[in-house]
Amino acid sequence: MQAKKQCLIDRPTAVPLKHVRATSERIEKFISDIYFTDVNLYGRVDKRIEGGVKIFTAPGLQTDSITDVFAFPKWTPATVGTPFTPLWSQHWVKVEVDHVNVDDENLKLFLHWDVSGAESLVYVNSDIPKQGLSDKRKEVCVKEGDKLYIQVSCTGLFGAGKNGMINPPDENRTFSLSACHLVKRDKIKYSVYMDLCVLYDITKECKDHDTLKYDAMLLGNEIINLITKENHSLQSYHQAKQLANKLWRSDDGNCGSKDRIHAIGHCHIDSAWLWPWRETVRKVARSWSTTLSLMDNAHDFHFACSQVCQYDWLKNYYPKLYKKMRSFIKAGKFVPVGGSWVEMDTNIPSGESLIRQFLYGQKFYRKEFGVFSNILWLPDTFGYSAQLPQIMKQCGVDYFLSQKLSWNLTNTFPHNTFYWKGIDGSKVLAHFPPGDTYESHIDVKDILKSANNNKDKGRTHDHMLLFGYGDGGGGPTADMLERLDRLQHVQGLPNIVRSTPTEFFNVLEKELLCEWWGELYFELHRGTYTTHAKLKENNRRCESLLTKLEFVYSLTNESVAMVTENIEKLWKIVLFNQFHDIIPGSSIEQVFKDAMSDYDKFYELYKVTWDLLTGGAEPIRDQVVVNPFHWTRTEVIKVKDNDAESYQLVSVPPLSCQVPGVVEPVDKAGIFVLDNGNICMCNSIIKSVFDPKGRMISFLHRPSKRECIPAGQYGNQFVIFDDIPLFWDAWDVMEYHVETRKEYEPSGIKVVEETPLRCILQIELSLGDHGSGTVDVILDANLPYLKFSAEVKWLGIHKFLKVEFPLTVMAMEAEYDIQSGFVKRPTHANTSWDAARFEVSGHKWAHLGEPGFGVGVMTRSKYGYSAQSNRLTVSLLRSTTAPDGNADIGSHVIEYALYPHAGPLYSSKLVQHATNYNSPLRLVAAPKTPPTACPPLNIKTEGGEDEVVIQSIKRAESGEGVVVRLYEPYGNTVVLNMNVAEGNKHVHRVNAVEEVMYDLTGTNTITVKPFEIVSLLVK
């Protein structure tokens, strides 16, 4: 008998029509920590336990040593509300877990903890830290009978800025214990809670045309119906898990998307910033112990971690935690990356400094872990030098990761994955994660952005997503890893794989990608080239002193263990303070004071080390002059005879450490007062004229008869600009500041000194309410450039002081000294890319030139420049108030020079003169062991001594031989002739971390390509 067919009109509707907003918000309220927590799921996951904890404090115990804590005899009972002060102080709390019964396998016990957002480090029944606590992570898993020792640091994740994160710290801030109680967590409810959190996230972030949005929304709605109809029974939660798992697991593990996201745990920690470096040591312990605890609990993820100095801190301050970390490094879970001592700034450090970042960083990695990182990891640095690709390749580093250019204010950088070529043609594979973050939470928004924002679609479908809280937040959280478990294989979302940085870059190696040639200029944070002038002055000076010290040490016949050890310590002082928030000047005042203290320690240790070479307290022998460069130097020096000072013109041979030879000047320096009151100072090469006020009205290059200053304009023109950025005070100078330019006239001039070897004029400098000072104008016999030494008392607030030189030179590009070479940048604003370069970085010089004539400005401590049309400008001082409220206020000595020349840049000798200017000849005590007759390697080029520059001569790290490092400075290909000194038998080409590349023994010549850096090991 045939069944009667049911009429369609009688069939019950299977699913009611669902309103998208109402349904999605229903899911949101069911998991809300604010609304309906008395009846929703969030309120059922954790149940607070009253009692069960005893709280004690250790009054007066200021220590980082857990041994001292265990031995502390006078613990005092405490309660919620206990205050902790002052800022940056350390306090200890003991918490005893007692009389708590948790006998259900589905329940876990947690201590909830908060001290007004302060950071804390937890030890549980052990002298090894278990994890960190902060406002990003407020719970630690415990059990009956546990004793917790908790170190409270009176600082938040981002310091304690008064009325704003980047403001100077609030020294009166008080922290108090606001939460210390136990909760029981229902594991199955927590798991379903995380399911619904991710379903809601998908519903919220997916577009209206996306089927997955509705799948997630209806599934979430179905789960809520199931749970509420069953009155939150245990069975209903297990059934809800089964429903949710259908969405989380694709049948074949493939989501159907070509996009593949490589998820890697990370915790970016600034080595000093809104907190002093000593607090960073604790941040490292808090964050890395948290990550290791997650790994202990069988969470499957890899954690990438950079900055070798932080590993060194952990080794020295937390040795047992360090030992635990090493086991996870060996297992491949905790992955050292970067290879540099710190995540350094790359605009300000010298080429040799950047090399030493890798040399000492990789040396530590190899010794401690047996690994070598081939990835440079700089996610937060403020722009990237055009010479960095070569330095990376020379140090064995093939890959580069950053994301900072996503902050560009004007132009969008066109790539996320590309080959980056340096000025010498060296090429590295670069990746900027398209999620534009290194602190993802593994939510749907970040995952979709990572896929959709990829600017290299079609060329690659792979991209990296770094997840975890930074700056002490502890890196990945359990919630993040739960979301990763669920989102890894969802149909309709990109594929997500748990990866390592090396695995990721190995995939990219197979892709055909675009190239970007030259610097990666950051269109923001341009003020960091100038902020905190004293840091930059000390950095340049220390780099120069190390060049001399290592050179002299390489010439001595004996190796002194203490000297070798001290040189490494000296370098590490310099390298640490090149961190990307220290040397740029973008940290709080305490960081500045710590850095200045470091430089004081540098000079003390430098003297001790020099004394080891010279005999120290022994009677002073003949004084010598050190010339670590391979050209003859003829310069005026100051000598002392008893109490009298005088000048001598001395000639010092290349690569020497010896008593200088006194020579007669070919010409003399002179000063003449003209009938109209103008003052003229000149030698046979240059002639400069100043009016009675001290304004520079003429600067003549006498051999070419070329006037450098346009008629009616003034050289050495001091100007002040308003300097009020949009937000990032110490970091940013905005393009509109140029519209506020105000000139300041000097108020007088006088002759200070007039000798045949040196003449000095002194100009009175008036800067209105913003400061005052003097400028000494110095001209030496035989010297082709004019020197300026300004002593400025700077009082400006949110003002920017510069000195300008308008020039009779027309050029569409200016050249700027960078590490081991130079770059060209526009003097116009034809495009938005050109206009964005209104303030740029440079090292020892900037140059404006025509094919037959040019003028360079040389500086001894400045890194900020600009060239607009025919005006060459040096940035001198800023006066920002955040995060340091007193940045640059006070007295400064500022030295610069003006150098005119005939012919093009490549024949100008500007590089050599700027190198000399930054390393002035001075009499020093002679080494107690006489230097060898000559350096280990004599070099010459077919075009003359100025075609290459010796950057460093040092003893090899192996202890065998000497490393000579040089570079080609002008962009030419040159042939280098080598003569090995007697007693040396072998020459090898090595890379910058001193690995042998090939043997050059018996070879007399090598070809050096444009801007190439060459390292030679002679032994």
Residues in the chain: 1019
Work out the mean pLDDT of the chain and round it to a whole number: 95
Contacts of 835 (CB under 8 A, 6+ apart): 410, 735, 829
Residue 904 preceded by cis peptide, ω within 30: no
Contacts of 407 (CB under 8 A, 6+ apart): 522, 524
- Whether residue 291 is predicted with pLDDT greater than 60 in this model: the reply is yes
Q: What value does the mean pLDDT take over residues 94-110? A: 92
So what's the pLDDT on residue 13?
57
Answer whether residue 981 shows pLDDT above 90: no
Q: Where are the alpha helices (DSSP H) in 100-210?
A: 187-205
Which residues are identified as catalytic? Answer: 380
Residue 6 has pLDDT above 50, yes or no: no
- Tokens read off for 680: 């003229």
Q: Is the pLDDT of residue 26 over 70?
A: yes
Closest CA to 346 of 276, 303, 400, 294: 400
Res 984 pLDDT > 90:
no
Starting at the earlier edge strand, list the strands of the sheet with 644-652.
Answer: 633-641, 644-652, 661-662
Whether residue 296 has pLDDT greater than 60: yes
CB 384 within 8 A of CB 520: yes
Q: Which of residues 731 and 19 earns the better pLDDT score?
A: 731
pLDDT (0 to 100) of residue 615: 77
For residue range 855-898, what is the model confidence (pLDDT) as tens digits?
A: 999 999 999 999 999 999 999 999 999 999 999 999 999 999 99
Q: Is pLDDT at 619 greater than 70 in this prediction? A: no
Q: How far apart, in whole angstroms, are the C-alpha atoms of residue 69 and residue 149?
A: 8
Using a pLDDT cut of 90, give the percent of the chain over it.
89
Reported for 831-837, long-range contacts at CB under 8 A and 24+ positions apart, including other chains, are 832/410, 832/411, 833/410, 833/411, 835/410, 835/735, 836/408, 836/409, 836/410, 836/411, 836/521, 836/523, 836/735, 837/521
Q: Which two tokens stand for residue 325?
A: 């970390």
Name the pLDDT band for 7 (thresholds 50, 70, 90).
very low
Task: List Cβ neighbours of 298 (8 Å cut-off, separation of 6 or more).
Answer: none
pLDDT tens string 839-857: 999 999 999 999 999 999 9
| Cα angle, residue 27 at apex, residues 24 and 33 outer, rounded to 5° | 125
Q: What pLDDT score does 621 carry? A: 57
Nearest to 569 by CA among 609, 541, 597, 539: 609
Place of tokens 């003359």: 944
Closest-CA residue to 402 (of 381, 386, 387): 381
CA–CA dist 526, 410 (Å, integer): 13
Under the banding of pLDDT at 50, 70 and 90, the label for residue 935 is: confident
Residue with tokens 């801030």: 173
| pLDDT given at position 14 | 62
The pLDDT of residue 920 is 96
| Helix, strand, coil % in the chain, rounded to nearest 5 | 25, 30, 40
Q: What is the CA radius of gyration of the chain?
A: 33
pLDDT digits (tens, 9 = 90+) for 666-683: 889 999 999 999 999 999
Query: pLDDT tens digit string along 567-598?
Result: 999 999 999 999 999 999 999 999 999 999 99
Strand-by-strand arrangement of the 813-818 sheet: 748-754, 758-766, 771-780, 786-794, 890-902, 853-859, 845-849, 813-818, 821-826
* Cβ contact 989:1014 at 8 Å: yes
Does residue 834 carry a pLDDT above 90? yes
pLDDT at 12 > cutoff 60: no
Distance CA(915)–CA(894), nearest Å, equals 17
Residue 140's pLDDT band (boundaries 50, 70, 90)? Answer: very high
% of the chain exceeding 70 in pLDDT: 96
Query: pLDDT per residue over 773-824, tens digit each?
Result: 999 999 999 999 999 999 999 999 999 999 999 999 999 999 999 999 999 9
Question: Cα separations (Å) of 42 from 191, 301, 877, 896?
Answer: 11, 27, 54, 65
Closest CA to 581 of 725, 404, 436, 441: 404
pLDDT average, residue stretch 700-717: 98
Give me the mean pLDDT over the 87-111 stretch: 94
What is the Cα–Cα distance from 5 to 482, expressed in whole angstroms? 49
Q: What is the pLDDT of residue 15?
A: 64
Handedness of CA 884, 888, 889, 890 (dihedral sign): positive
Parallel/antiparallel/unpaired status of strands 679-682 and 670-673: antiparallel
Q: Place 298 in a pLDDT band, splitting at 50, 70 and 90.
A: confident
State the pLDDT confidence band at 750, using cuts at 50, 70 and 90: very high
Residue 298: count other Cβ atoms within 10 Å of its Cβ. Answer: 6
Confidence band of 979 (pLDDT split at 50, 70, 90): confident
In one letter, which amino acid is 445? Answer: K
Helix (H) or strand (E) holding 505: helix 501-508
pLDDT at 481 over 70: yes
Tokens (6 digits) for 403? 């994301």
Mean pLDDT of 684-708: 98
Instruction: Provide the 3-class DSSP secondary structure of residue 182.
Output: strand
Q: Which two tokens stand for residue 330?
A: 């060996």
Q: Which helix (H) or strand (E) holds 576?
A: helix 561-576
In this predicted structure, what is the pLDDT of residue 1006?
93
The whole-angstrom separation of Cα 261 and Cα 499 is 9
- What pLDDT was estimated at residue 8? 44
H or E element at residue 148: strand 147-153
